[in-house]
Structure 1
C-alpha cells in the first residue's frame, strides 16, 4: 500500500488472506487511513488498446522481419511468398496510410533492400546455377513481380535512395521507446510476482523482524516507482509538480526521447566493452586504415619496392588470397613508387602486374568479368599504353628474363608483352558481350566500349609497327581487321570508285599478312574477312574472284572451328551479295550448303540447337557457348532463308515445268521441295502468314504463269517489314526481284503451254508479262539455243512458231508406262535365268546347250532392239536439226 499512500515511519503495509484479520499494533496511531481492497484483476497488467495504425504497421513489420530471415538463408521461394503477403498487408493498410499522407519509411526501406538483394542474386551467375529448381524459379518470378510492383513507388524510392537516413532516427527512437516500455512492464510483472512469493502466508505478528520486511517492501516499491517519480524526500515518496501535468511540445518530447536513447546505448556499450566510446559524426563511414607498405624509417628505393612487389605477387593464385586487396596493394605500391621518383620502368613493371591481377580477379575463365572490373581493365590498359608511348626507349618484351631486367638505370629492360595484354582485353570484351542479354540496355552500354577498344588497338598498332616483329604486326593487324570486316559503310557503298579509308586500310593490312604471315591461320582468316567486307558492300566480282583464287573450299575442313564459322559467314554474305546483284544461280549455290541441313543457326555460331541423337555434356556446351558470336555481328536468319527459298523458286519452278513428265529429273533444292511437300499435305490451306507460306504461295502462282500474283506474295507490307527493308536501298532489291519473277514466269508459261499453241506473238507475251519486247526476244532465243524450247522465231511477223515435236501429255504418259513395263520384264527375265541355272541346267549337257542357245538368241534380239531404238533417236535428232 506504500505505493498509494504516504504515511509515517510507524505505518506498515502487510497483506493477508481473506480469513486473516488486520489487528492494530500496540502503540500505533489510530489515525490510520482506510485500506481499500483491490480485486485480482487490478494486479494483472492492463489491457493495451492499439490504434488501427499501430495494428497495421505491426503486421507489416512482422512480415518484413520474417522476410529478412528468409533472405539470410536465400530461400527465394519463401521470400516470394513473404513479398506477396507484404503486398496484401499493404493494401489493407492503405486507408491508414492515406490518413497519414506518407508511406512508412520502413516499408520503403524494405522495398529498396529487397530490390538490391534480388539484383545481387541475379548478377551472381554461379550462385544461380547452384540454386535448387524451386529457388531459381522463385527468384525469376520475384524479380519480375518486384520490378512491376516498384513502378508505383518510383518517386518515393528515388527520394529514399537520395536520403536513406532521413526519418530513420524517429522510427528508431519510437521503436526503442516501445521496447523500453514493454521491458518495464515485464520487469514490473516479474518483481510483483517475486514480491508475492516472498510474502509470508501466515498471520502478521508484531515482532521486531517485521521492520526488516517493511524495509524490503519499501525498497521494492521505491525501485518499481523510481521511473515514475521525479524526486522525493525518502524512498517511495513522490512529489508531484505542475510541470508533470503540462503538455510537452513535440520537439521537446522528441529531444527528450533521443537523449534517453543515447544514454541507454552509451551505457550498454560501456557495459559490453568495458570502456567509453568515441562519438562519431552521424553519416560518416567507418574508414578502415589501409595496411602500411613500408615502416616509417624504411628507405623507399628500387630494392625495397621490388622486394615488396615480389611479396605481393607471391600470393597470386593461392587459396584464400583476396584478389581485390591484391589489386589495391599493387596500386598503392605504384603510387609510392611514383611519389619517390623511382623511374618509369618500375612503374611500368608494377602496371603489368596490376593488369594481370585484374585478369585473375575472375577465377573461372569461362565466365566474363564484372562491369566494374572491366572498367578498371580498360583504364589500366590505356594507362599502360600512355606509359609505353611516353617512354619509347624502354625495351619491353616477353623474351626478357627476370634476371636480365633493369628498372633502376637506363637503358631500361622490362619483362612483359603489351600485345598479349591487349589481346586478352579483346577476348574479355567478347565474353562480356556474349554474357549480356542482347535485348537489354546493358548490352548497349557494353557495346559503347567498342569504340575505346578500337582506339586502343590503333594505338597499339602505331607503337608496334616501327619496333615489333613480323608476327606481332600480323597479330595486331588481324585484331583490327576482325573489328572492321562486318561493319557496313554507306559512303563506300554509294561511291565504289572513290578510295575509302576503311577499304584502303583493310587492303593494306591484308596484303601485309598475305606476304609476311608464316602461319596459315592468320592468312586464311584475313582473306575471309576481306571477302566478307567486299561482299557486304556489293563488290561481287572482287569478292568472287578472291574466293576462287584462295581455293579455301578444298582445305577449310582442316581448319579450326572458329575459322570454319568465319568461312560459313563469308559464304552466306557472298550469297546475299550475289542475290542483290541479280545472280540468282550463284546465290543459290553459295547458300545451299548452309540451308540444306537446317542447322544454319549453329553453323553461323548464332545459337545452339537441341540434338536428338545425343545430349551435350556440360563441358561441350560451355565450349560451344564460348564460340557464339555477339548479337551485333549476327546475320538475320529469316532474311537468309527467304533469299535462299526465293532463289530456289526462281530456278526450280521453270525446271519442274520443263521436265514435268521426266521420271528421272533431279531435285535442285531439297529444302525447297520439302517445304512444297509439307504445304501440299495440308488439308486446308489458308492465306499465308509466315515467310515460308508466302514463298510457297508465290511458287504455286508461278507454276501457272501468273506473275502478278506471285509478285504480290513475295513483295507486300508484311514481307517488306520482315525481309526486304533489312537491305540497304531495299527499293533496288525489290525491283530486281520483280524483274526476275517476270522473266521466270514467262519461261514457265512457255514450258507449260507450248504444246497448246501453234505460234505466239512476241508483242502479246510482252504485254502479258509487262516486259520489253526485246527482253522477251532474248529470253526465247536463249531457250531455243539451249534446246529447251522446240520453236523458231519469225522475224517479219514477230512471232514464235512451235514445231510441235514435243510429245503431248498422253504420249508422255504412254512412254513412261512403256519404259516401266520394259524394265519390269527385264528384271523378271533376269530372276528366271538365275533360278533355272541354279536348279537343273547344270546337270545335263543337252539342257545346258539348250540354255546357251536360248541366252544367245535373247541377247541377239535385245541388242537388235537397242540398235533400232538408237537409230530412231538419231533420225529424231536429225529432223530437229533440219527444223
Structure 2
C-alpha cells in the first residue's frame, strides 16, 4: 500500500492491489489540483495550433514593447514571420489567403510603435548601441514585410475598433463547449494506460478500480472500517462536480455571452434564454454620439432638418466616427427633405454637406479617392450647380453665416463655397490619374472623365460669373486654363478659318486677359501668363510667345515662386524651345533648352518622374512631396525629343564655331553637354555605327566637321530617327525640310572655315552645286561672313568668285603661337608671385617703404612686354 494513502492500519491484499494500480497510473492523467480540467486531453485542429503559435509570439512582442526592448522585439518579430509562413497553408485553406485580423492588428501596433520611437529623436539618442541598431533593423524589416498586407492594413485602419476574427474561435457557445467537454471526457477513460497496470490475482475488480469520479459498489457495501477510511481519504483529493463549480461555470458562460453581445455576435439561442431582443449590428465602427432620425409623429420642417444636419456634421473629425454612416444619414436627410417639399435651398445645403463628407471619407489627404466616391462627388457638385443655375435669387457663399442663412423664403442665402468644392474635385481627379498605371486601360478610362470635369468647370464658371467676385472669377478661369493650355487645336493653325469660329487660342486670350486685369495676387497672373505662352508655342506662334515672355520678365524672379509655378515655367521654356526649332530659330531654341538640359535632370525639373539618388540625397518625406507634384502622363513632354532638339541645335552652332576658332586657346564652349559627348566619341579607339539618338547626333557632328553634309543629314534624318523623334512633331515634313536646309548651310560655313587657307579663290557656283543650295543663298552666306569679319575675302561679281586675302597659319605656326602665349602667361604669373612675396627676400638694409619704392619700376614690366609683342604682331600682319 502506498504511504500516501496509509491510514495507520494494515489492509488486506485486495485493497493493497487496488492502491498499487492507482499509484502506477500515469501522472498526466491524474493530478491532485483544482485545475484538473486543464489536463484533460483536447483534440485541436491544425488551425487552432497555428493560430495559438502566432498569438504566443504576438504576446511576447507586446511584452517587449512595454519595456522598449527592441532587440528582443526584433527576434520575436522574426519568429512571428516564420510562424506565419508555417501557417500560410492553413490560412490559404480556411481564410482564402486573407491574413487573420489579430495578426494584422499586431502588425499595425508594431508599426505604430516603431514609427513613434523612430520619430522621437531625443529618445533615440539616449538608446544603447544595440537597441538603436535593433530599432533600425526592425524598422526596415517591418516596412518590407508589411508591403504584402497593404490592403488588409488599410481596411484595418479604416475600422480599427472592430473585433478580431478569432473571437468566436476563442469563445465558443456554452452548449457547444458542454458537448465538447462530454465528448472529450469519454476517450480519456478508455485511453487510460491499462497495459501498465499490475493485475490483481484472483480478483475481478480491476475494471472498477479506475472509476475515480464515483465510489465503487464494493467499497460502499463493505463494512470494513479500514477500507472505508482509505476511500474517504482518497476522495478528499479527487475532483468532484460541486455546486460551487456549477456557479463558476455559469458565471463564465454569462461573461462570454455579454462579451459576444457587446461586439454584436450573440447567438439567437442565448438571446432567447436571456429574454433579450434581436438586434442586427452593422459592420463598421460604432459611434457613441450617433444622431437618431426623426420620430414618426414629429412635425418635420426646415429648422428640424437643419438641426439634425448639425448633429450629423458635429461628428465630423471625431475619433471612431463612421464616415459611411454619415453619408447614409445625409442621403436620408435629403430624401426626407424631398418628401416634405422643404425647398431647393435646403437641398443645396444638404448637397454641400454631402460633398464635405465625401472629402472627409478619404483618411489620407495625400492618397487619391476611390473612383466610385469621386463619381458621387461629381454628381453632387453637378446637382449643386443645377440648383444654382435654376434659381437666380439663390446665393451660395462663405461670407454667409449660420445666423444670416435664409432657406425658406427668397432671396435664399446658403452658407458654402462652390469654387472650393470644384478646386478640390479637380485636384482629386489629378490624384486619380497619378495613381493609375499610364500604360493600362484603366488610365484611359479615368482620362475619359476629363470631359465631365471640363463641362462641370464651364457650368461653375457661369455661376461664378453671375454671383462671384472678380477674384473668384479669376480662380475659376484659371481652372479652365489648366485643362486647356496643353491641348493642340487643329483649327487654330488653319489659315482659312472663319473669323467667327472660337478656337482655343481665342478662349485662352479671353480668360488670360481677364486675369491680367483683375487678379489681386501675382500667382494667378504668373500662371496665366505661362499657360498663355505655352499655348502660343504649341501652335507655332513664336513671335507672340517670345514677346509675351520678354514683357513679363518672369525669368528674373521665377525662382521665388512656389514649386508648381516653377514646374510650369520649365514646361513653358521647353515647349518654347521646340517652337523655335520648328520655326528654324536654332540659336533661340538652344537658349531656351540650355538651362534645362545642362543640369542633367530634365525629368525632375519637368515633374515627369524621379531619378534615383545616391547616398540618400533625398529623404522619404521629400520624395513623397515630389511625387505629389508629378504631372499626369498625358501632359508629359517627350524627353528624348527635347534632348535630340537640344543636341542638333548645339551641333549647328558649335561645329562652325569650333572650325572658326580651332587654334584659339581661349575658345569658349557654347554647349558643355554636346562638347563632352563629342570629345568622348573622339577619344574612342574604335567607333561603331550609332545606335542611340545621342550617338546619331555625335556622328552627324563629326561628319559636319569634315564638310560631308550628306552623311550628316543621313545621321539626323532617317527611318529610326523619324519614328523616335521627328514624327512626333506637328508638321514633320516641314521640320525635316528645314533640317536639311540648315545642315547644308552650316556645313558650307564649316567648310569655308576649315579649308579657306588652301584656296586663293572660290567659285560661288561650284559651292552651290557642292552643297545643293541656290546661288543667291550661297552669295548671301559668304557676304554675311565677310561683313562679320569671319572670312577675310572679297566678292568678285563678274566672275562670281570669292577672292581670299589671307591664309591661315599652318599647324606648326599655330602651335608656336599657342606656346608663346602660354610662356608669356607663365612669366606674368611668376612676376605677380614675386611682387607678393618680395618682402621675404629683403632681409636687411632698406626700410620697408624704400624697398617698395625700389620695386615700383618693375611693376609694369610684364604689361609693357605684352603690349610690345602685340604691336609687333600687328605690324607683321600689316
Deviations 1:8-33 (A, max 9, x none): xxxxxxxxxxxxxxxxxxxxxxxxxx
Q: Contact conserved, 1:77 with 1:139, CA < 8 A, in 2?
A: no
Distance 2:829 2:644 in 1: 45
Q: Contact conserved, 2:690 with 2:699, CA < 8 A, in 1?
A: yes
Q: Contact conserved, 1:70 with 1:78, CA < 8 A, in 2?
A: no
What SS does structure 2 have at the residue aligned with 1:300?
Answer: coil
Tell me what 2:36 maps to.
none
Is 1:546 paired with 2:548?
yes
Q: Contact conserved, 2:489 with 2:503, CA < 8 A, in 1?
A: no
Tell me what 1:673 maps to.
675
Tell me what 1:872 maps to.
875
Tell me what 2:652 maps to.
650
Tell me what 2:348 maps to.
348
Cα distance change, pair 707–138 in 1 and its aligned pair in 2 (3 A): farther
Tell me what 2:825 maps to.
823
Deviations 1:344-382 (A, max 9, x none): 111211111111111111232222212222122112111
Tell me what 1:119 maps to.
none
Counterparts of residues 68-107 of structure 1 (less than 5 Å) = none
Cα distance change, pair 189–612 in 1 and its aligned pair in 2 (3 A): closer
**Residue 779 of structure 1: how far off its partner (Å):** 1.6
**Residue 801 of structure 1: how far off its partner (Å):** 2.4
Tell me what 1:839 maps to.
842
Aligned match for 2:563, one of 561, 564, 567? 561
Cα distance change, pair 731–314 in 1 and its aligned pair in 2 (3 A): same
**Residue 482 of structure 1: how far off its partner (Å):** 0.8
Aligned match for 1:738, one of 732, 740, 755? 740
Counterparts of residues 307-326 of structure 1 (less than 5 Å) = 307-326=307-326
Distance 2:477 2:330 in 1: 32
RMSD of aligned Cα (Å): 5.0
**Residue 83 of structure 1: how far off its partner (Å):** 11
Distance 2:794 2:767 in 1: 15
Rg larger in 1 or in 2? 1
Cα distance change, pair 333–557 in 1 and its aligned pair in 2 (3 A): same
Give the stretch that moved more between structures: 793-802 or 358-367. 793-802
Cα distance change, pair 185–541 in 1 and its aligned pair in 2 (3 A): same
Counterparts of residues 93-172 of structure 1 (less than 5 Å) = none
Q: Contact conserved, 2:53 with 2:83, CA < 8 A, in 1?
A: no
**Residue 485 of structure 1: how far off its partner (Å):** 0.1
Cα distance change, pair 436–269 in 1 and its aligned pair in 2 (3 A): closer
Tell me what 2:397 maps to.
397
Distance 1:860 1:478 in 2: 62
Tell me what 1:263 maps to.
none
Deviations 1:807-836 (A, max 9, x none): 333322222222222333334445556666
**Residue 484 of structure 1: how far off its partner (Å):** 0.2
Q: Contact conserved, 2:291 with 2:312, CA < 8 A, in 1?
A: no
- Per the normalisation by structure 2, the TM-score is 0.70
Deviations 1:768-813 (A, max 9, x none): 2222333222222221221111222333333332223433333222
Deviations 1:565-621 (A, max 9, x none): 111111111000000111100100111111111121222122234555873344333
Q: Contact conserved, 1:419 with 1:472, CA < 8 A, in 2?
A: yes
Is 1:511 paired with 2:513?
yes
Distance 1:79 1:834 in 2: 77
Q: Contact conserved, 1:270 with 1:276, CA < 8 A, in 2?
A: no
**Residue 141 of structure 1: how far off its partner (Å):** 8.4
**Residue 684 of structure 1: how far off its partner (Å):** 4.0
Counterparts of residues 570-609 of structure 1 (less than 5 Å) = 570-609=572-611
Distance 1:846 1:372 in 2: 89
Tell me what 1:783 maps to.
785
Deviations 1:249-281 (A, max 9, x none): xxxxxxxxxxxxxxxxxxx9776555699xx9x
What SS does structure 2 have at the residue aligned with 1:414?
Answer: strand
Give the stretch that moved more between structures: 423-432 or 657-666. 423-432
Distance 2:853 2:474 in 1: 82
Cα distance change, pair 845–132 in 1 and its aligned pair in 2 (3 A): closer
What SS does structure 2 have at the residue aligned with 1:396?
Answer: strand
Q: Contact conserved, 1:601 with 1:607, CA < 8 A, in 2?
A: yes
Distance 1:771 1:572 in 2: 31
Deviations 1:621-680 (A, max 9, x none): 333222221121111111111111110011001100000011111111112112223333
Cα distance change, pair 308–803 in 1 and its aligned pair in 2 (3 A): same
Cα distance change, pair 68–202 in 1 and its aligned pair in 2 (3 A): closer
Counterparts of residues 134-283 of structure 1 (less than 5 Å) = 274=272
Cα distance change, pair 292–502 in 1 and its aligned pair in 2 (3 A): same
Q: Contact conserved, 1:841 with 1:847, CA < 8 A, in 2?
A: no
Tell me what 2:411 maps to.
411
Tell me what 2:694 maps to.
692
Counterparts of residues 607-626 of structure 1 (less than 5 Å) = 607-611=609-613, 615-626=617-628
Distance 2:495 2:420 in 1: 38
Q: Contact conserved, 1:531 with 1:546, CA < 8 A, in 2?
A: yes
Cα distance change, pair 332–847 in 1 and its aligned pair in 2 (3 A): closer
**Residue 858 of structure 1: how far off its partner (Å):** 5.3
Unaligned runs of 5+ in 2: 1-44, 59-76, 100-110, 116-137, 151-179, 209-214, 216-265
Tell me what 1:636 maps to.
638
Tell me what 1:388 maps to.
388
Distance 2:538 2:742 in 1: 22
Q: Contact conserved, 1:67 with 1:82, CA < 8 A, in 2?
A: no
Cα distance change, pair 205–497 in 1 and its aligned pair in 2 (3 A): closer
Distance 2:643 2:793 in 1: 37
Distance 1:309 1:605 in 2: 42
Counterparts of residues 457-472 of structure 1 (less than 5 Å) = 457-472=457-472
Distance 2:697 2:866 in 1: 49
Cα distance change, pair 868–584 in 1 and its aligned pair in 2 (3 A): closer
Counterparts of residues 475-490 of structure 1 (less than 5 Å) = 475-490=475-490
**Residue 66 of structure 1: how far off its partner (Å):** 7.1
What SS does structure 2 have at the residue aligned with 1:474?
Answer: helix
**Residue 420 of structure 1: how far off its partner (Å):** 1.2
Tell me what 2:435 maps to.
435
Q: Contact conserved, 1:492 with 1:500, CA < 8 A, in 2?
A: no
Tell me what 1:335 maps to.
335
Cα distance change, pair 646–63 in 1 and its aligned pair in 2 (3 A): farther
Cα distance change, pair 606–83 in 1 and its aligned pair in 2 (3 A): farther
What SS does structure 2 have at the residue aligned with 1:462?
Answer: helix
Report how many aligned residue pairs link the two structures. 707
